[in-house]
Structure 1
């Protein structure tokens, strides 16, 4: 199961690389789309932050999703984001043969303060993948509003969406 999860994540990360290869830096950094005025780069950075929190917390068995690095270079430099994705994919592949028969403590802020809950490695990686897809949907909205059409099949759609509605951006 872990191999399928990591393969799915790497597929979605490859879609991010395809997107970054298809847009220019100005589009990557554009913050003109309301109501949040966030850039595609900020959404890519945010999704990478989530994965970085997972990786950073595994050794101590304490993943803190509120301790994001928020590296603005990833928000503004497509090339840095792509290189970060490649390193992330390599790290994820190294987890395929790791023993994960234990619970991992994951801390997040649910809006009323921090709470720590138990996950497995598979469940936090699945959560990170779903979180990434959610942000890809926002990126699709930004591109649509900017009048930019790029076709990446399934980008921004949950795999359970009906196929006739799952076109991608």
Structure 2
């Protein structure tokens, strides 16, 4: 299995661990001065995996075409089910070296659908970094709610590896 696929599975397993540790109210609740919930960050992560899964067969990934309002944001069991779906999908994914196109907005306040060439591997690398980034925010929110979070949640692999050798 491709190393990037393995790494994406590992980071999604972190999502599973994290979501499993959250209480329902913590998962969907917000705090004063923190308008995003843990659920919003998890839904956002999974929206990006959904875009990749939908786009790879057509070689056109549109990161603007996200659910944004799915119940994954409010229902931990649905978030766990969805995360597991993407783990299973990744376990069966066969990568090819063909170029793909990626569409994404780049400016606030006006639609600027920029289309660039990429590869499935590059987008898998992006999803690892994107997931870690949002897990870091979600972990911070959990801590602000008073919950304990494993130290490795939301830590970039390079940072984790550096810290182990320092």
The answer to whether TM tops 0.5 is yes
Relative to 1, partners in 2 of residues 1:23 and 1:115: Cα closer, same or farther, differing over 3 Å? same
Aligned to 2:107: 111
Give the distance between the partners of 1:157 and 1:145, measured in 2 at CA: 17
* Structure with greater contact order relative to length (CA < 8 Å, sep ≥ 6): 2
Give the distance between the partners of 2:32 and 2:134, measured in 1 at CA: 15
Paired residue secondary structure (1:155) = coil
Give the distance between the partners of 2:95 and 2:149, measured in 1 at CA: 40
TM-score of the superposed pair, with normalisation by structure 1:
0.88
Give the distance between the partners of 1:72 and 1:49, measured in 2 at CA: 9
User: Residue 75 of structure 1 is aligned with which of 63, 73, 76?
Assistant: 73
Structure 1 residue 84, shift from structure 2 partner: 0.7
Structure 1 residue 54, shift from structure 2 partner: 0.7
- Which residues of structure 2 form unaligned runs of 5+? none
Give the number of aligned pairs.
161
Kept after mapping to 2: 8 A contact 1:108/1:114:
yes
Give the distance between the partners of 1:61 and 1:15, measured in 2 at CA: 28
Question: What do residues 32-86 of structure 1 show as CA deviations (whole Å, max 9, x unaligned)?
Answer: 1524x11101100000000100111112111000000124210011000101111
Give the distance between the partners of 1:17 and 1:25, measured in 2 at CA: 14
Structure 1 residue 99, shift from structure 2 partner: 4.6
Paired residue secondary structure (1:154) = coil
Moved over 2 A (4+): none
User: Residue 91 of structure 2 is aligned with which of 93, 98, 101?
Assistant: 93
> What root-mean-square deviation, in Å, do the aligned CA atoms of Structure 1 and Structure 2 show?
1.9
1:26 is the counterpart of 2:31: no
Aligned to 2:54: 56
Question: What do residues 3-50 of structure 1 show as CA deviations (whole Å, max 9, x unaligned)?
Answer: 211111111111111112111100000111524x11101100000000
Paired residue secondary structure (1:59) = helix
Aligned to 1:149: 148
